[in-house]
Structure 1
Amino acid sequence: MVKYNEEFKVRIVLEYLKGELGYSKLAKKYGVKSHQQIINWVLAYQKYGVEGLTRKNINEIYSVQFKLDVLNFRKRTGASLTETALHFGLTNPPMISSWNKKFLEGGAEALDQPKGRPAMSDKAKNVKRSTQPAPQDTLTREQKLERENELLRLEVAYLKKLKAFQMDPDGYLEKHKQRYHSNSKKNFD
């Protein structure tokens, strides 16, 4: 995937806003793979200004609850990926598709799994891989039960929110509107 710098994005957005060229022609002129990318940049610029075009921390970790809220919002409202991303202040709309795929394949637990491979410590690099037990084998029965319990708590909280929304969608959205916006900018370490 090609990464575009902020100046490049701003130049294209401003050229689009002048009204001389449309999305497709700008994509062709500047060699952008898809005109949809330019649409996303224009919408982000219109909602957040230049800050909407800057790359956020790539390694930002979102909570499982936040991911479930995003997916639930999209399902309830029928919003597009771009509209949902703008609503929650996300700069990468395809990430929502990835969350949805994980959720459909493995439920809420799949959303809790970190992306990529965990970093190896210096000690682990020196020890042969075959002598180390798998991380799942090292969990005690109590730890496994605690993890399952936490996932069940998350699921119950999600279902409660879904029920509250179904009973009064407008009231629910109004009550939680500010929280969604502030949660999307947090960096959970």
Structure 2
Amino acid sequence: MRYRPPKVRVKNLIFGGVFMVKYSEEFKVKLVTEYLYGNLGYKSLTKKYNMPSTSPLKNWVRSYKVQGVDGLKRRNTKKEYSVQFKLDAVQFMLETGASYLETAVQFNLNNHSMIQRWLKAFRDQGIEGLKPRPKGKPSMSKKINKQKKKKRRS
């Protein structure tokens, strides 16, 4: 069985940096329900559970209100979105003046920072910036391969 590290809170690295935290779905549901049905606010809850900021909790509450428990689930696979879908999201945001989070809710996305990247790419490169980029190591050109073969023969 493959080793999987436990889902933990933020820890400072030796050189002072902080890395991303993955919270379990159960933890998110617990905090959201405690916020909605309890008497503690964002700051009190984040202090109680030793979280570095209130931002994640605020996002979880918004997602929960719109999508229910499904809004708190992590997606296991990285979904690829079409250029048209990205363009629709960006145009919606620009035309309506909606925030990243409001746009994410409108288009049923869990990650509002994705729209931030799409908008930046659209502003920098236009529609070309929304097209998928090739992943992995680029293939070698045929010219380089021929030169290597000639060197081997010599």
TM-score (norm 1): 0.59
1:34 matched residue in structure 2: 53
Q: How much has 1:21 moved relative to structure 2?
A: 1.3
- Higher Cα radius of gyration: 2
1:8 and 1:119, CA in 2 relative to 1: closer, same or farther beyond 3 A?
same
Q: How does 1:5-154 map to 2 (within 5 A)?
A: 5-114=24-133, 118-119=135-136, 132-133=140-141
* RMSD of aligned alpha carbons: 2.1
| 1:45-94 Cα shifts (integer Å, max 9, x gaps) | 11111111101244100011111111111112211211111111100011
Which ranges of structure 1 fall in alignment gaps of 5 or more residues? 135-189
CA distance in structure 1 between the aligned counterparts of 2:50 and 2:84, rounded to whole angstroms:
38
Amino acid at match of 1:82: L
CA distance in structure 2 between the aligned counterparts of 1:112 and 1:24, rounded to whole angstroms:
40
Amino acid at match of 2:135: P
Give the paired residue count.
123
Amino acid at match of 1:118: K
CA distance in structure 2 between the aligned counterparts of 1:28 and 1:62, rounded to whole angstroms:
37
CA distance in structure 2 between the aligned counterparts of 1:36 and 1:104, rounded to whole angstroms:
26
Which ranges of structure 2 fall in alignment gaps of 5 or more residues? 1-19, 143-154
| 1:24-49 Cα shifts (integer Å, max 9, x gaps) | 22222223333122111111111111
The percent of aligned pairs where both chains have the same amino acid is 48
Q: How much has 1:96 moved relative to structure 2?
A: 0.8
Higher helix share: 1
Q: How much has 1:19 moved relative to structure 2?
A: 3.7
TM-score (norm 2): 0.71
Q: Secondary structure at the match of 1:89?
A: coil
CA distance in structure 1 between the aligned counterparts of 2:48 and 2:99, rounded to whole angstroms:
26
CA distance in structure 1 between the aligned counterparts of 2:117 and 2:51, rounded to whole angstroms:
22
Of the two structures, which has the highest relative contact order with CA contacts closer than 8 Å and spacing of 6 or more? 1
